[in-house]
Structure 1
Amino acid sequence: MMVLYNGELIPADAVRLPLPNRGLYFNDGFFETLVWEPAGLRYLPYHLARMQRAAAALGLQLPPALATGPALTATVHHLAGTAPEPLQRIRLQLWRGGGGLYTPTTKQAHWLLTTQPFAPAEKPILRCDFAETVLLHYSPVSFCKGPNALTYVLAARERQQRELDEVILLSGSGHVAETVAAAIGWISHGTVYVPAEAAGGVAGTRLSHLRAVATALGIEWQAGLYQPDELLRAEAVFTANVAGIRAVEMVGTARFHSASHSLLRQLCAAEQENRAGY
């Protein structure tokens, strides 16, 4: 398997990360998960916007190879061309260079691109409940992927131990935030409801695209701080990430018919038609 390390195409087993490494020492960076297809990168405008926002929040300078839509596409294409699969799951890991302790010494970043075959996740979620051991907290970097990764590791352990398909994470104030690796939303009386970023969840790229689709269809979309009982009163519940949009059929003891909900089906069908963005 080949990887791109700071723009150099090399075998994965040849990667050598020099020390000190601020990504390893302080988690000083972020990552992005992308999907490559023959037409290019899915949801490119939304990924690029989150990357630019994350770099600004962390005080990092995006390398030229990653800083614009055409540059990012060309960079990923360089790696994707080494793999035989037409659909690939691309992980971009970016971390600050230099040394120092907590105080950084540079804005320069190092980066690594890896690839693996893309596996969609679109089957309905049959066993879901609210997390009991993990809470989320809003911060200047809670919207991006990476700085709070250990929180999601703990949530995934709880999901595994409780033998659930998914768990819904709440904020410290008790508001619905997201799931372990996907945004969450629900439909009630013709309106889509999603948690606001203030609940502490990641700003989902697939959810941002879905919102653009809903706007184009004239479907009302509301982001806010919601208690769990508001989700439990919904007509349909779903999760969304780059791997897929999944209907949630049960949360705790509450049952839904999300997979057959007409508005959710309409929204998903329209979203599938244009993955490049609006």
Structure 2
Amino acid sequence: MVNFNGALIAENEVQLSTQNRAFKYGDAIFETIKVVNGKVVFLEDHYFRLMASMRMLRMKIPMEFTLEFLQEEIIKVVKELPESSMYRIRLTIYRKDGGLYTPVTNDIDYIIEGSPLEYTDKEVYKIDVFKDFYNYSGLLSTVKTTNRMLNTLAAVFAEENDLDNCILLNERKGVVEAINGNIFIVKGNVVKTPALTEGCIKGIVRKKVIDIVEKHPDYTIEETAISPFKIQKADEVFITNAIIGIQPVTNYRKKEFSTEITNKIKSSLQLAIVTS
């Protein structure tokens, strides 16, 4: 079952017209959200990012779109899914049908879909740089729109080359993010991640990790430009997103990374999930 504008409908009964703007123009945004033991993880952060994205894209925010409303709509879907301790939820919001590049309205429709979530950490996790195309380092790149062609091509490249993930670059050939999350590197006691001005998604777990490191007496956080060469020289590398939390990277080309600091930050993040 999916939640289509508040109504629960079987997946095979959902009908989207040929005028759907998410399909025709990528005129849509989405949030990937984790639910653990009936609790929507980092709900407030997802909600405020969603509201900010809708305002940036000049979508009309319905009056009923409160944080409590969003939580109720997500839980409605969860209750219809097979029993599990964890779920992956995707909320997609798009402008209503009609128009060419100029929409006929800024009103929105939404779909909430979900599935039981099971995953295990990979002991060996290999990455490399995807250099065929670049991610533009503008503000729009920080928003989770449904235009994910670059990520799709990078994922195909990763599969073809027996990789677990790829590093995306911007037009200045600086590191932006991974295919499915933000990226951090550790050198000594300094933890670095690409600044938002590099074009990376304004990730929920990215923000949480930055908060964790800022409060830790032994580490320093830097949001900055990072070259692929600096990844080669790093002690540790890890990837973050709302579903996996933190994924340690073990291999980049011929370089092998340790995971000591990464695992410490990962433990702190788990605690933040439990207490949020």
Which interval holds the TM-score relative to the shorter structure?
over 0.9
CA displacement at 1:79 relative to structure 2: 1.1
Q: Secondary structure at the match of 1:141?
A: helix
Partner of 1:257: 258
CA displacement at 1:188 relative to structure 2: 1.4
Partner of 1:270: 268
Q: Could you give the per-residue CA deviations for residues 97-119 of structure 1, whole angstroms, max 9, x where no partner exists?
A: 14111012222110101111113
1:18-33 → structure 2 map (5 Å cutoff): 18-33=17-32
Runs of 5+ in structure 1 lacking a partner?
Answer: none
Separation (CA, whole Å) in 2 of partners of 1:125 and 1:141 = 33
Q: Secondary structure at the match of 2:141?
A: coil
Contact 2:38 2:75 in 1 (8 A): no
Compared CA separation, residues 265 and 7, structure 1 to 2 (3 A) = same
Contact 1:213 1:271 in 2 (8 A): yes
Partner of 1:240: 240
Partner of 2:161: 162
Separation (CA, whole Å) in 2 of partners of 1:183 and 1:264 = 14
Contact 1:119 1:243 in 2 (8 A): no
Partner of 2:149: 150
Compared CA separation, residues 144 and 163, structure 1 to 2 (3 A) = same
Q: Could you give the per-residue CA deviations for residues 124-155 of structure 1, whole angstroms, max 9, x where no partner exists?
A: 44321111313211233211223431111111
1:117-266 → structure 2 map (5 Å cutoff): 117-120=116-119, 122-218=121-217, 219-244=219-244, 245-258=246-259, 261=260, 263-266=261-264
Q: Could you give the per-residue CA deviations for residues 10-63 of structure 1, whole angstroms, max 9, x where no partner exists?
A: 111111123421111111011111111235211212211221121011111234
Separation (CA, whole Å) in 2 of partners of 1:77 and 1:109 = 21
Partner of 2:67: 69
Q: Secondary structure at the match of 1:174?
A: coil
Larger RCO: 1 or 2 (CA < 8 Å, sep 6+): 1
Separation (CA, whole Å) in 2 of partners of 1:112 and 1:276 = 27
Runs of 5+ in structure 2 lacking a partner?
Answer: none
Separation (CA, whole Å) in 2 of partners of 1:13 and 1:64 = 29
Separation (CA, whole Å) in 1 of partners of 2:53 and 2:123 = 31
Separation (CA, whole Å) in 1 of partners of 2:269 and 2:23 = 37
Q: Could you give the per-residue CA deviations for residues 186-239 of structure 1, whole angstroms, max 9, x where no partner exists?
A: 111212100012222212111111222223334321101111112221111101
- Higher mean alpha-carbon deviation, 35-44 vs 180-189, is at 35-44
Contact 1:80 1:88 in 2 (8 A): yes
Compared CA separation, residues 51 and 157, structure 1 to 2 (3 A) = same
**AA in 2 matched with 1:242:** A
- Higher mean alpha-carbon deviation, 81-90 vs 209-218, is at 209-218
Separation (CA, whole Å) in 2 of partners of 1:187 and 1:147 = 31
Contact 2:139 2:197 in 1 (8 A): no
- Higher mean alpha-carbon deviation, 151-160 vs 224-233, is at 224-233
Contact 1:127 1:249 in 2 (8 A): yes
Compared CA separation, residues 97 and 181, structure 1 to 2 (3 A) = same
Contact 1:232 1:254 in 2 (8 A): yes
CA displacement at 1:88 relative to structure 2: 0.8
Contact 1:171 1:200 in 2 (8 A): yes
Q: Secondary structure at the match of 1:145?
A: coil
Paired residues, number: 273
Separation (CA, whole Å) in 2 of partners of 1:188 and 1:173 = 23
Contact 1:125 1:166 in 2 (8 A): no
Separation (CA, whole Å) in 1 of partners of 2:120 and 2:141 = 24
**AA in 1 matched with 2:248:** A
Compared CA separation, residues 44 and 124, structure 1 to 2 (3 A) = farther
CA displacement at 1:64 relative to structure 2: 4.5
Separation (CA, whole Å) in 1 of partners of 2:193 and 2:274 = 22
The 4+ residue runs of structure 1 with deviation greater than 6 A are none
- Higher mean alpha-carbon deviation, 139-148 vs 97-106, is at 139-148
